[in-house]
Homo-oligomer: A and B are copies of this chain.
């Protein structure tokens, strides 16, 4: 202790005096399981004995970390594309302007949507889709008590949504996807969730993830139309998270953008329903997570709100230019006749058909296991199988203060080296348990992985019966 007592001075910022909304944020995808996986890797590399030779991370959607080959074109042409972008902006360097990218994104959307027009002024470039989603949610939050903004999100969800809503102090309104019908979205369930929520908050927005993470479902055109009708009827701002728009595998499934369906429904809808749609360089066949590129398209957004958004975005300066350059490459891939074209198509096709195969393989193998049932992985990059956890295991987990599926996944990690995310991190119906597993590992590794999961599940079930 010194004269003026400073050695014992309490910290300004402690867990008791931190922003309480920050404390409320939960984020399971990188929780204790991942921490333990990293520890196990270190222990293995130090020569410690384990019942497995390597840790297999099937927890996150980082395609390249899982061994997927980057598309050559993105790496190869990124530099010259960046130059083209910069030229179009009149600068000599990766400065603060974006320019051409907007036009390229708009043209991409028009091609994707069979000619439905896209105004470049409706495009905002973002630091990954995450940034766009959080920013839109931020704009929507207001009111206090029973008039506090509520936002509808699917359960299971991608936990960015719950985290952002917690941080913004908005009310999270859960609607449950129908696991029995291949994780489809049912309008009556939307209505139930909305009606209940109206009693304690002001529901203003409806978030949809299509194709779904973690659930892998791809919505039908009919379903999207119903959702749009519902949003119109109930005056909800629609947020369509379409980062997996190029990741559709199942026969008979097809990606329909909310924008396209909205416009096909005629001016009664296309002139009124407010829609934000998000895309990213992280997913699809690109898998370039690290660049943090993305855009959002804003339909029927009020002009004054747009001006506020522009202001808000300017404060943080621009999204990273390399990410913009990559986004530009993604929306503006090589065209027939261009030197990179053949190789691009070859690589793209190979990547997507490998994913399609692995999606099928995952579903098939998991469904051979008693106590695991897995919906078809129609799109995105994950399976989200339901698992039966014996009563005794549920009890042991509860005594440890753990979620039963966390207990299950942690045990799997310790015994097999496989790293999955427990379903409780995404939300699930009470009393049901799941895990999320990416379909990204190379086929041979995926097969081994699935066999190990099978073996583990059988052993686990036996142990706790």
- Verify A315–B164 contact, CB threshold 8 A: yes
Flag if A311 contacts B65 (CB, 8 Å): no
> A172-216 CB contact bits vs B (8 Å, 1 = yes)?
000000000000000000000000000000001100000000000
Q: Are B320 and A236 in contact (CB under 8 A)?
A: no
A 270-299 contacts with B by CB, 8 A? 271-272, 274, 282, 287-292
A25 to B23, CA, bound (A): 25
Cβ of A304 and Cβ of B14 under 8 Å apart? yes
From B17, B64, B269, B274, A92 is in contact (CB under 8 Å) with B64
Interface residues as binary, A373-408 with B (CB distance below 8 Å gives 1, 0 otherwise): 000000000000000000000000000000000000
Binds B, one of A3-11, A111-119, A431-439, A445-453: A3-11
Asked if B131 and A316 sit within 8 Å, CB to CB, the answer is yes
> In the assembled complex, how far is the CB of residue A453 from the closest CB belonging to chain B, in whole angstroms?
23
Q: Could you tell me if B236 and A12 are in contact, using CB atoms closer than 8 angstroms?
A: yes
CB neighbours (8 Å) of A305 from chain B are 13-15, 18
Please give the number of chain A residues whose Cβ is less than 8 angstroms from any Cβ of chain B in the complex: 89
From B6, B27, B236, B323, contact of A269 by CB (8 A): B6
A159 within 8 A of B: yes
Partner of A93, one of B2, B14, B96, B287: B287
Copy tally for this chain in the complex stands at 2
Contact B11 A93 (CB under 8 A): no
Q: Is A349 an interface residue (CB 8 A)?
A: no
Q: A317-B292, A323-B320 are in contact. Are A96 and B127 (CB under 8 A)?
A: no
Distance of A30 Cα from B311 Cα, bound (Å):
8
Q: A11: which of B22, B95, B97, B300 is its contact (CB, 8 Å)?
A: B300
A308 within 8 A of partner (CB): yes
Nearest chain B CB to A152 CB, angstrom units? 13
- Which residues in window 21-71 of A have CB below 8 A to B? 22-23, 25, 27, 29-30, 60, 62-65, 67, 69-70
Contacts of A9 in B (CB 8 A): 232, 235, 272
CA distance A13 to B301 in the complex (A): 7
Residue A128 at the B interface, CB < 8 A? yes
- Nearest B residue to A315 via CB reads B163
Q: Are A95 and B290 in contact (CB under 8 A)?
A: yes
Residues of chain A from 259 to 277 with CB closer than 8 A to chain B in the complex: 267-269, 271-272, 274
Chain B, Cβ-Cβ closest to A79: B79
* A135, closest chain B residue (CB): B22
A236 proximity list for chain B (CB < 8 A): 12
A139 near B: Cβ within 8 Å? yes
Judged by DSSP, the binding face of A is: loop
Of the candidates B60, B97, B205, B291, which one forms a contact with A12 in the assembled complex, judged by CB atoms under 8 Å apart?
B205
Residues on B with beta carbons closer than 8 Å to the beta carbon of A354: none
Question: Using Cβ atoms and an 8 Å threshold, which residues of chain B touch A314?
Answer: 27, 29-30
Given A96-B290, A138-B22, A290-B96, the answer on whether A308 and B15 have CB atoms closer than 8 Å is yes
Is A331 part of the binding interface, using a Cβ–Cβ cutoff of 8 Å? no
B315 to A290, Cβ gap below 8 A?
no
CB distance from A18 to the nearest CB of B (A): 6
> What 1/0 mask marks residues of chain A from 304 to 325 whose CB sits below 8 Å from any chain B CB?
1100100110111111111100
Sample of 12 A–B contacts (CB below 8 Å): A2-B268, A12-B235, A18-B139, A64-B93, A127-B320, A163-B315, A282-B317, A290-B318, A290-B322, A291-B321, A292-B318, A292-B319
Q: Which residues of A are in contact with B by a Cβ distance under 8 Å?
A: 2, 4, 6-7, 9-15, 17-20, 22-23, 25, 27, 29-30, 60, 62-65, 67, 69-70, 91-97, 127-128, 130-131, 134, 138-142, 159-160, 163-164, 167, 204-205, 232-233, 235-237, 267-269, 271-272, 274, 282, 287-292, 300-302, 304-305, 308, 311-312, 314-323
Q: A19-B138, A27-B314, A29-B314 are in contact. List 8 more A-B contacts (CB 8 A).
A: A6-B268, A12-B140, A27-B311, A27-B315, A65-B92, A65-B95, A93-B288, A94-B291
